Structure 1
Amino acid sequence: MIFFTGDTHFGDPRVLRIDRRPFNSMSEHDAALIKNWNEVVGGNDEVWHLGDFMSAKAGNCTELLGRLNGRKHLIVGNNDPTATSGADGWASVQHYAEIRADGHHLILCHYAFRTWNQMGKGSINLHGHSHGRLKPAPRQFDVGVDAQELKPISLEHLFAVKQRKALPAARTAPSQD
């Protein structure tokens, strides 16, 4: 299975303050994100991380990658130092990618686009960077952890969540009293 995530910011204390992540310390934060990742992603799964993986101060990136399940690809974000992008453990590293998954043409970048390749033909833009703060656009999804319950997400789950959010609220019949 293929999963997508971003903006984990391992070892970066700013996320506790700026993004109001519900942890008392970075060690608690990092342990929870590793646990969430490994509960969702299996050893044979593929994960596209759409940038801002870890702080340069967080320690050894290769060691951290070894603790995370799956074959990992990095789409470089604005907070990814060369120690992260150059670490052993990435199956690929790039700033932008286009892939096909589950019958969909996906445009992957750390940043959200206003327009993207084959947009008029149904392609989908997956991004991070905005930490769940951008207004949703058609066929565009923030896959960063702040927008996805602090864990990687599959396309199937992403589409199911969108469909649930789009359903109108259940109406109750007026009382006949």
Structure 2
Amino acid sequence: MKYFTADTHFFHKELIHDTRFANRMFFSVNDMNNTIVENWNSVVNDNDTVYHLGDIALINSKKEDLKRVLEILKKLKGQIVFLKGNHDSRALFKFIDKNNVILPDGRMKFTFIDVGLILKLNHYQLFLTHYPLLVGPSKNRVNVHGHIHHSSVNSPWNINVGVDSADIDYLINKLPFGTPISEKNLFKIIEAKLIDHKKRW
């Protein structure tokens, strides 16, 4: 199974109770971090792949901070494919890669993509990026992205999969905060957003 997420912002204490970018009502950074880990692991198993579309954590590049992020990431189930976000440093990527682990099926737990990738799934071309990308009207081409937190691009061909995303509201059954979006739920969001936008045309 494939899953999608972005903008976890582990250790980013300024996002707690800051409604400009997100609405993270937690008592502490540890509470937020633990909630994401718990909800992630409630749906993902080690045979799954999670595409994390950037902004893993907000830290400096000191070794002790890099270690703290790595310890959180090791708790997350599945193989994680990281796309670089604007808050992700090369130092963090290098540190994670240097301390990579092997999953039971022989895959490396962490893999890395700089800018983006195209994933073919369910007769769709999914353009995975951190920043929103205008792909234009298309029957089977969708940009899956993060970056804009609780905002939504006013286009049915852009789906925000960040943990704060407004596009998650297209799901009938609400996902607990930090739960990665399964491929099944992603296509439910795509379909529901397209129906919603057709009403406005």
State TM-score, norm by structure 2.
0.74
1:40 aligns with 43
Q: Is the Cα–Cα contact under 8 Å of residues 37 and 178 in structure 2 kept in the other structure? A: no
1:50 aligns with 53
Distance 1:158 1:115 in 2: 17
Q: Is the Cα–Cα contact under 8 Å of residues 77 and 129 in structure 1 kept in the other structure? A: yes
2:184 aligns with 156
* Counterpart pick for 2:151 among 128, 133, 151: 133
Whichever residue aligns with residue 133 of structure 2, its letter is F
String of CA shifts for 1:80-108, please: whole Å, max 9, x gaps: 12232221242233221111123321101
String of CA shifts for 1:95-129, please: whole Å, max 9, x gaps: 2111112332110110111236xx63521100000
Secondary structure at the counterpart of residue 145 of structure 1:
coil
Distance 1:143 1:113 in 2: 13
* Corresponding residue pairs, total: 165
Matched, 1:124 2:142: yes
1:24 aligns with 27
Distance 1:9 1:35 in 2: 15
Whichever residue aligns with residue 116 of structure 2, its letter is Y
Distance 2:14 2:124 in 1: 35
Distance 1:144 1:32 in 2: 15
1:3 aligns with 3
Distance 1:45 1:71 in 2: 6
1:173 aligns with none
* Counterpart pick for 2:126 among 101, 106, 118: 106
2:75 aligns with 67
Distance 1:54 1:135 in 2: 23
2:13 aligns with 13
Structure 2 portions without partners, runs of 5+: 101-109, 169-176, 197-201
Distance 1:66 1:124 in 2: 30
> Runs (4+) of structure 1 moved beyond 3 Å?
161-167
Structure 1 portions without partners, runs of 5+: 168-177
Secondary structure at the counterpart of residue 17 of structure 2:
helix
CA shift for structure 1 position 63: 2.2
Distance 1:80 1:120 in 2: 31
CA shift for structure 1 position 24: 1.0
Whichever residue aligns with residue 35 of structure 2, its letter is A
